């Protein structure tokens, strides 16, 4: 008897685990491949366990870079990106990334270290109220209070982050809990009685929508990132083809429907194409699938889709009716709703004239740009598209270059487009390209950056070198914060207040300092030769592309104007 | 217009913060918020009185609240038959000359005097907010020294009238 007891006791002892063990075990269970993390005092117990872990750990050179990389990873892989940051400054450095992911519905699991439980609330060294700070910018957040809860909390976090409308979930772990020791806890069930996303559409609403489509004369689909998040591209194509519905994209939705399809109209919104914006202005039935009617898409709501019956398919009921009154609400996962719509096999609308009208708009008013001695960014973007056969992953920063990429790179497949839409975060592009490349290692990744935004994340060049990621960094250098300069030119009487940045380091030499090859490109001929060369190898490269600094993004809808009030439609 | 939102929530740390955060983030106006335990362990009831411009705004608020993971159920009970009560404590100046007058006001409102001192009374009153407001107006001329209101707490009545009937008001 005694001997027996001694054996079980020693067995139990041998199996004692720490909070950090439980954490890593839980991550392995979720099949996490990569962690973007940065160590510090409060996460040392976790980092000690990471030393022996098989999971790839990527060390960004700034926590903000880490979380943007995780966003790029999540966008391309469809799986939650995992981030670790230490307490205090580590945690506050990820605030922008959390907000960005929240706005663009990207699944993230973010661990922050916290000061030990017994000093929480005492303004201890590197203490910050992380739960308080991140409550409005996360889908949910936790602070671990008991070591036994770790496996359940991690499981719940992955479930919350990746189901329903995806978003970031933060788990704050006090240092003592990560270090404390316990018997392996009993398995706990997920306990989320207040969280039950509606995935299946209501049959009657589907029927109503299907009938509205049959009756419509000027129907359009507006497809947002919800289509990509629910992996519904095939279903969208099938439905659009079945009913012959023209498809308009939001900025974030690009790639959800093939740009080379004859039913594809283009991107809508502030810098969208004429046909899309007119399509929205004149349609009589607007079927929004997974877009949230952002103000940069709708323009002045007073003039938005004035003749349309609005149907809206969204997994987040709060998005339906938030900005635009909706006659046919469908709360559902986009994929499920589209499957049901296809199954209805409704009578296609009679709308030949409408399709013709849209094609006419497309032909008469395509995106255009003028010729000049200086290199035109749009031209370079077209070359990038051709030379990557449209199959690259394009990651952008925020500004004019982002809009040119959206306009001139044709996205014919899903998961080729990574951009910061809702928050418009400068500094996003370079780190996000790291995550995108890790998510799809064999594909060509082009990071399209501005000279301003690049300088907000330059430090991440090290990571590209360290992991030898073949990212093609294309800086569209206009020696200015171009988008700000454009607004000052148009709305502020050309008073270029702090938007010109002619004093720059040599980006080529900078790249070389990081051990990355760099080229300066000044003409279309140089672009031709250099792009050809660098896109055909598997090496990282930085291109300092000197574009026309006076170039603006057109067409454009001024703030407060309606979609039909585009300027710069024709030369 | 005024709306009463009733919700049951998981009694977890930070849940109230999540709700008030949401109100300020979305720029909604709260008039009052009251929180307390319910018959179910681990579940609290929160009653909010809010001001909105339109029914659509009220619907938005309800949906945003519903999205919160710790919130189990949200109902806009403004248009239902409900019992809604608030409690107020009012410290009012009183002199021997005014005391009788005050008692005469207290009586029809079924309020109660719960503390008396040389120069003041503390009155406790419960009822719907409108009733409390009416009472405060009457008491004001005597000089209110301190006032504490709990905010409304409410839930639907056991029996609901058919939909298109008038909203019921209870007298007490
Ligand atoms: C973090 C952050 N700060 C400021 C802005 C405002 N902003 C939007 S675009 C832009 C200019 C970006 O310049 P650059 O990166 O060179 O791109 P360009 O517009 O010239 O292509 C600025 C400052 C922003 N979006 N994000
Ligand atoms: Mg620039």
The domains located in chain A, with CATH, are 17-182 (3.40.50.970), 203-364 (3.40.50.1220), 377-546 (3.40.50.970)
Q: How far apart are CA A181 and CA A170, in angstroms?
A: 23
Query: Ligand 1, closest atom to CA A456?
Result: 1
Predicted confidence (pLDDT) per residue in B111-163, tens digit: 999 999 999 999 999 999 999 999 999 999 999 999 999 999 998 998 887 65
Catalytic position from the list A25, A126, A188, A237: A126
Q: 0.80 exceeded by the pTM?
A: yes
A160/B contact by beta carbon, under 8 A = yes
Chain B residues inside the 8 Å CB shell of A139: 69
pLDDT, residue B170, reads: 42
CB atoms within 10 A of CB B1: 11
The half-sphere exposure of B142 on its side-chain side, counting CA atoms within 13 A, is 27
Asked if A131 lies within 8 A of B14 by C-beta distance, the reply is yes
SS (H, E, C) B16-68: HHHHHHHHHHCCCEEEEEEEEECCCCCEEEEEEEEECCCHHHHHHHHHHHHHC
Q: Is the dihedral of CA A46, A50, A53, A57 positive or negative?
A: positive
Say yes or no: do domains B2-81 and B84-152 share a fold: yes
- Which run of H or E residues covers position A395? strand A393-396
Q: Which of B69, B70, B73, B75 to mutate to test the interface with A (most CBs of A within 10 A)?
A: B69
Of B40, B50, B51, give the one whose Cα is nearest residue B73. B40
Distances (CA, A) of A162 to A80, A312, A430, A438: 7, 22, 24, 19
The owner of tokens 């409005």 is A136
Residues on B contacting A at a C-beta cutoff of 8 Å = 9-10, 13-14, 17-18, 21-22, 25, 56, 59-60, 63-64, 66-72
pLDDT, residue A239, reads: 98
B40 close to B31: Cβ distance less than 8 angstroms: no
The residues near A457 (Cβ < 8 Å, ≥ 6 apart) are A62, A64, A65, A68, A427, A428, A429, A430, A431
The owner of tokens 């996360």 is A138
Closest ligand relative to A401 C-alpha: 1
pLDDT, residue B160, reads: 83
The residues near A382 (Cβ < 8 Å, ≥ 6 apart) are A408
pLDDT, residue A129, reads: 97
Q: How far apart are CA A114 and CA A42, in angstroms?
A: 6
Q: How far apart are CA B168 and CA A565, in angstroms?
A: 50
What are the residues facing A418 on neighbouring strands?
A395
Q: Does the pLDDT of residue B167 top 50, yes or no?
A: no
Asked if A322 lies within 8 A of B22 by C-beta distance, the reply is no
Query: Which pairs count as long-range contacts for A324-328, CB under 8 Å and 24+ apart, including other chains?
Result: A324/A288, A324/A293, A324/A298, A325/B56, A328/A205, A328/A208, A328/A209, A328/A212
Residue whose CA lies nearest to ligand 1 atom number 17: A450
A303/B contact by beta carbon, under 8 A = no
Q: How far apart are CA A265 and CA A253, in angstroms?
A: 13
pLDDT, residue A8, reads: 57
pLDDT, residue B161, reads: 72
The residues near A461 (Cβ < 8 Å, ≥ 6 apart) are A430, A473, A510, A511, A514, A516, A542
| DSSP strands (E only) in A39-80 | 56-58
Please state the ipTM of this predicted complex.
0.90
Q: Does the pLDDT of residue B168 top 50, yes or no?
A: no
The secondary structure of residue A54, as a DSSP letter, is S
As a whole number, mean pLDDT of residues B74-96 equals 94
Is A126 part of the annotated catalytic residue set? yes
Domain ranges of chain B: 2-81, 84-152
From its phi and psi, is residue A505 left (phi > 0), alpha (psi between -120 and 50) or beta?
Answer: beta
Fold classification of B2-81 is Alpha-Beta Plaits (3.30.70)
Is A175 part of the annotated catalytic residue set? yes
The model's confidence at residue B169, banded by pLDDT at 50, 70 and 90, is: very low
pLDDT, residue B59, reads: 93
Q: Beta B29-37 vs B43-51: how paired, if at all?
A: antiparallel
As a whole number, mean pLDDT of residues B86-104 equals 94
User: What is the pLDDT tens value at each position of chain A, 571 positions in all?
Assistant: 556 655 555 555 558 999 999 999 999 999 999 999 999 999 999 999 999 999 999 999 999 999 999 999 999 999 999 999 999 999 999 999 999 999 999 999 999 999 999 999 999 999 999 999 999 999 999 999 999 999 999 999 999 999 999 999 999 999 999 999 999 999 999 989 999 999 999 999 999 999 999 999 999 999 999 999 999 999 999 999 999 999 999 999 999 999 999 999 999 999 999 999 999 999 999 999 999 999 999 999 999 999 999 999 999 999 999 999 999 999 999 999 999 999 999 999 999 999 999 999 999 999 999 998 999 999 999 999 999 999 999 999 999 999 999 999 999 999 999 999 999 999 999 999 999 999 999 999 999 999 999 999 999 999 999 999 999 999 999 999 999 999 999 999 999 999 999 999 999 999 999 999 999 999 999 999 999 999 999 999 999 999 999 999 999 999 999 999 999 998 8
What angle (nearest 5°) sits at the alpha carbon of residue A440, between those of residues A434 and A446?
55
Query: Ligand 1, closest atom to CA A398?
Result: 9
A403-431 residues labelled b (16+ CB within 10 A) or e (exposed): bbbbbbbbbbebbbbbbbbbbbbbbbbbb
| Span from the CA of A397 to the centroid of ligand 1 (angstroms) | 8
A411 close to A255: Cβ distance less than 8 angstroms: yes
Q: Beta B29-37 vs B82-93: how paired, if at all?
A: unpaired
| DSSP strands (E only) in A290-359 | 309-314, 328-331
Q: How far apart are CA A371 and CA A373, in angstroms?
A: 7
**How many residue pairs bridge chain A and chain B with CB atoms within 8 Å of each other?**
38
Under CATH, which number does the domain B84-152 receive?
Answer: 3.30.70.1150
């Amino acid at each position: 008897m005694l001997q027996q007891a001694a054996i079980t006791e020693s067995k139990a002892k041998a199996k004692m685990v720490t909070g950090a063990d439980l954490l890593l075990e839980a991550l392995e269970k979720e099949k996490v491949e990569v962690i973007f993390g940065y160590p510090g005092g409060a996460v040392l117990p976790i980092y000690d366990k990471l030393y022996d872990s098989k999971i790839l750990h990527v060390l960004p050179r700034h926590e903000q870079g880490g979380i943007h990389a995780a966003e790029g990873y999540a966008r391309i892989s469809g799986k939650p990106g995992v981030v670790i940051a230490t307490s205090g400054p580590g945690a506050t450095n990820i605030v922008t990334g959390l907000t960005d992911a929240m706005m663009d519905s990207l699944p993230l699991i973010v661990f922050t270290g916290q000061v030990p439980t017994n000093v929480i609330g005492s303004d201890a060294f590197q203490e910050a109220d992380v739960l308080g700070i991140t409550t409005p910018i996360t889908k949910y957040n936790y602070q671990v209070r008991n070591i036994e809860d770790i496996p359940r909390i991690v499981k719940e976090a992955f479930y919350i982050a990746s189901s329903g409308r995806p978003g970031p979930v933060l788990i704050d772990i006090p240092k003592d809990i990560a270090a404390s020791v316990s018997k392996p806890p009993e398995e706990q069930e997920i306990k989320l009685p207040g969280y039950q996303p509606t995935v299946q559409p209501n049959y009657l609403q589907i029927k109503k929508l299907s009938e509205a489509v049959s009756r419509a004369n000027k129907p359009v689909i507006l497809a947002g990132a919800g289509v990509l998040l629910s992996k519904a591209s095939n279903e969208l194509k099938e439905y659009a083809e079945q009913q012959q519905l023209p498809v308009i994209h939001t900025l974030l939705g690009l790639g959800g429907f093939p740009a080379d399809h004859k039913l594809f109209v283009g991107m809508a919104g502030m810098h969208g194409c004429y046909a899309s914006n007119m399509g929205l202005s004149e349609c009589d039935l607007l079927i929004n699938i997974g877009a949230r009617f952002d103000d940069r898409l709708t323009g002045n709501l007073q003039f938005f889709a004035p003749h349309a019956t609005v149907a809206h398919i969204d997994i987040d009921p709060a998005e339906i009716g938030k900005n635009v009154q909706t006659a046919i609400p469908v709360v559902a996962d986009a994929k499920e709703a589209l499957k049901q719509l296809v199954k209805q096999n409704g009578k296609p609308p009679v709308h030949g004239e409408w399709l013709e009208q849209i094609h006419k708009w497309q032909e008469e008013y395509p995106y255009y740009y003028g010729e000049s001695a200086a290199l035109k960014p749009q031209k370079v973007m077209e070359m990038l598209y051709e030379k990557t056969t449209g199959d690259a992953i394009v990651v952008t920063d925020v500004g004019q270059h982002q809009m040119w990429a959206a306009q001139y790179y044709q996205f014919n497949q899903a998961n080729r487009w990574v951009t910061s839409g809702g928050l418009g975060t400068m500094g996003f592009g370079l780190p996000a390209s790291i995550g995108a490349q890790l998510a799809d290692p064999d594909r060509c990744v082009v990071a399209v950056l501005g000279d301003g935004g690049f300088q907000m994340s330059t430090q991440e060049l090290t990571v590209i070198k360290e992991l030898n990621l073949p990212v093609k960094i294309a800086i569209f250098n206009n020696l200015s914060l171009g988008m700000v300069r454009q607004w000052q030119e148009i709305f502020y009487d050309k008073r270029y207040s702090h938007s010109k940045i002619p004093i720059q380091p040599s980006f080529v030499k900078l790249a070389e300092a990081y051990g990355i090859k760099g080229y300066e490109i000044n003409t279309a001929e140089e672009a031709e030769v250099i792009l050809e060369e660098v896109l055909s190898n598997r090496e990282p490269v930085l291109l300092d592309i000197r574009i026309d600094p006076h170039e603006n993004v057109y067409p454009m809808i001024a703030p407060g104007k309606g979609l039909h009030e585009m300027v710069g439609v024709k030369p | 217009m005024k709306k009463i939102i009733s919700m049951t929530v998981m009694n977890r740390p930070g849940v109230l913060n999540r709700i008030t955060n949401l109100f300020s983030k979305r720029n909604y106006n709260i008039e009052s918020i009251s929180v307390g335990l319910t018959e179910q362990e681990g579940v609290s009831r929160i009653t909010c009185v809010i001001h909105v411009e339109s029914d659509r705004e009220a619907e938005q608020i309800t949906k945003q609240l519903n999205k919160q993971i710790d919130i189990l159920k949200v109902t806009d009970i403004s248009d239902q038959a409900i019992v809604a009560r608030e409690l107020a404590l009012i410290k009012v100046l009183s002199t021997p000359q005014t005391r009788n007058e005050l008692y005469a006001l207290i009586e029809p409102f079924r309020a109660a005097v719960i503390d008396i001192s040389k120069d003041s009374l503390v009155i406790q009153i419960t009822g719907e907010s409108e009733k409390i407001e009416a009472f405060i107006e009457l008491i004001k001329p005597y000089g209110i020294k301190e006032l504490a209101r709990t905010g409304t707490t409410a839930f639907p009545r056991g029996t609901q009238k058919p939909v298109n009937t008038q909203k019921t008001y209870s007298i007490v």
